[in-house]
Structure 1
């Protein structure tokens, strides 16, 4: 991280905020490596709150200058025009990802909007806020392709895909995640949007021990697979992903769709395509979804990979 690049950082944030819609948005994505010397910093706009995240420890001079730069930013015209209220600095490289309020008073449970849908975030106490912003176009695609569908949402987390699916007219969504607390937040996200909870199932189970229960609620017109890259004791991507893919023929309808995602920079898109061909050859690759432009990466294979498949009838 280079101290002299902070001017570039804050000017880019300012320009992005000037054109950002009145929704949650990433304003600066240093991790895409488009800005030399700023590879370990990101900045997100949460409709009045600015969250700046550091992914690598920096020296005290950089940290002091960053804090001063952010405080100065609160005097800018665009900050006041967009009704900025708070700046949170999160240290993602430290255990527990501690955060400090740089300016204002933190609203730790804000409700934000993405593509017209509401989601409640949880700031300041967790590494992740409750919604992965780089999956914005993935949720939009689901919303546009699930009319009257029965959807299986694996590794559901806080049910962002589920919210998008019900909003798009899905008949039912089955959410599965080991963390019951995350599913509880997903239930609240549905309630925020006025959805009929009777159309949504929440299953706090280990996926690899629950195939019978999963199959019972099928067959599915769409299966969404968006696992963590690694979850100690429960999921290792390159080892366990294929175990899921080989189950798909028993879960999908004749023309069923699959969204298979990988967010590890070490695993490329070919892994998903080749693994699907190997484990479920009647499910053909259709296309890779583009990522949101604000998440541009100099190496597309290192960024989020959202791969779409369809079963041959």
Structure 2
């Protein structure tokens, strides 16, 4: 497998009267940072011009359809005015469009018309779903083709079972692709702890990469059950995988007893009612790292809250686990452009010694 780029290379900068902002270069465009745009553009909403941009982007992205699951359009990076609340994922024949904020009725109708009339068949797509993430149940409309509850997708040659139309999240966060690749490349012979494991994407990557054993912990036992399914899909030996369906903060003794670990992966939600608050609980996890790691142990600490930059993690590790040193920040996949490097996914590597 080819090496994973370690740092973000494609950047430009824009000037304002206040400060300088780092801007990721999205495909075929050079957007200004939102703080450098006129006020009316910062408050942009979906409109005919924005939908024309989306149409053109999809035509380009699907001229040669991806052979594996990929994000086709990432409006959440705020690079395209009027499309900041929209994403489009390619799920190998299924196209999943997610709306994170309700547009005006006329623009929503125009979006649906675009999606229904688009020449999907030329790309091999047979189903198009529109997920309304702003609604309490994240209601999904099936605009083209029949409803699908479960789907097997591939990433890096590995297979994952995802849910469609039933849950807010499908089961695999596509922006963590490089993180899973990195774990796969590092894992040979390691004992790995995967905290906030969800459906065990990191675990699948680690076992595929030759990890000796992986301990997955998540309080959502249904997600861990799907993790077992994912390992089975890839023909993995489940005797090398442990699944702990516990609240981490009530289970430290069990987690420590199963160690020490050569690699600890921390990938929590930014907020989970009643169980995790980023600003308080991440520090509690970092504080335990010296008890979890081998003398040369490594940590992959992840965070996807746009309100906090990488310094939140670097400063936290320096304060709570001073024996660890910052090594690098992994690059995000190019299909996830963002006007501000600090707003996107942060996946940072730390090492003992």
TM-score by length of 2: 0.86
1:31 aligns with 2:76: yes
1:245 Cα shift? 0.7
Which SS does the other structure have where 1:284 is aligned?
strand
More RCO (CA 8 Å, sep 6+) = 2
Residues 285 and 19 (structure 1), Cα distance of their counterparts in 2 relative to 1, 3 Å cut: farther
Q: 1:2 aligns with which of 46, 49, 60?
A: 46
Q: 2:344 aligns with which of 295, 303, 313?
A: 303
Aligned to 2:135: 94
Residues 181 and 205, structure 2, Cα contact 8 Å, conserved in 1: yes
**Deviation digits for residues 94-147 of structure 1 (CA, Å, limit 9, x no counterpart):** 101111000111222010000110000000011000000000000000000010
Which SS does the other structure have where 2:63 is aligned?
helix
Q: Which runs of structure 1 show a deviation greater than 3 angstroms over 4 or more consecutive aligned residues? A: none
Q: Measure the CA separation in 2 of the matches of 1:282 and 1:20.
A: 46
1:250-269 map, 5 Å: 250-269=291-310
1:61 Cα shift? 0.7
- Superposed CA RMSD in Å reads 0.9
Q: Measure the CA separation in 2 of the matches of 1:21 and 1:171.
A: 32
1:189 aligns with 2:230: yes
Which SS does the other structure have where 2:111 is aligned?
helix
Q: 2:190 aligns with which of 122, 146, 149?
A: 149
Deviates more, 1:103-112 or 1:39-48: 103-112
**Deviation digits for residues 235-255 of structure 1 (CA, Å, limit 9, x no counterpart):** 111101111111111110111
Q: Measure the CA separation in 1 of the matches of 2:273 and 2:245.
A: 17
Q: Measure the CA separation in 1 of the matches of 2:202 and 2:257.
A: 21
Greater percentage in helix: 1
Which SS does the other structure have where 2:163 is aligned?
coil
1:21 Cα shift? 2.6
Q: Measure the CA separation in 2 of the matches of 1:144 and 1:31.
A: 29
**Deviation digits for residues 269-290 of structure 1 (CA, Å, limit 9, x no counterpart):** 1010001000111110001001
1:42 aligns with 2:83: no
Residues 65 and 123, structure 2, Cα contact 8 Å, conserved in 1: no
1:27 Cα shift? 0.4
1:20 Cα shift? 4.4
1:81 Cα shift? 3.5
TM-score by length of 1: 0.97
1:276-291 map, 5 Å: 276-291=317-332
Aligned to 2:26: none
Q: Measure the CA separation in 1 of the matches of 2:63 and 2:271.
A: 37
1:1-313 map, 5 Å: 1-4=45-48, 5-73=50-118, 76=119, 79-312=120-353
Q: Measure the CA separation in 2 of the matches of 1:42 and 1:178.
A: 28
Q: Measure the CA separation in 2 of the matches of 1:139 and 1:231.
A: 23
Q: Measure the CA separation in 2 of the matches of 1:260 and 1:17.
A: 33
Q: Measure the CA separation in 1 of the matches of 2:66 and 2:258.
A: 38
Q: Measure the CA separation in 2 of the matches of 1:215 and 1:181.
A: 23
Q: Measure the CA separation in 2 of the matches of 1:263 and 1:295.
A: 12
Q: Measure the CA separation in 1 of the matches of 2:151 and 2:63.
A: 21
Q: How many residues align?
A: 308
Residues 184 and 209, structure 2, Cα contact 8 Å, conserved in 1: yes
1:82 Cα shift? 2.9
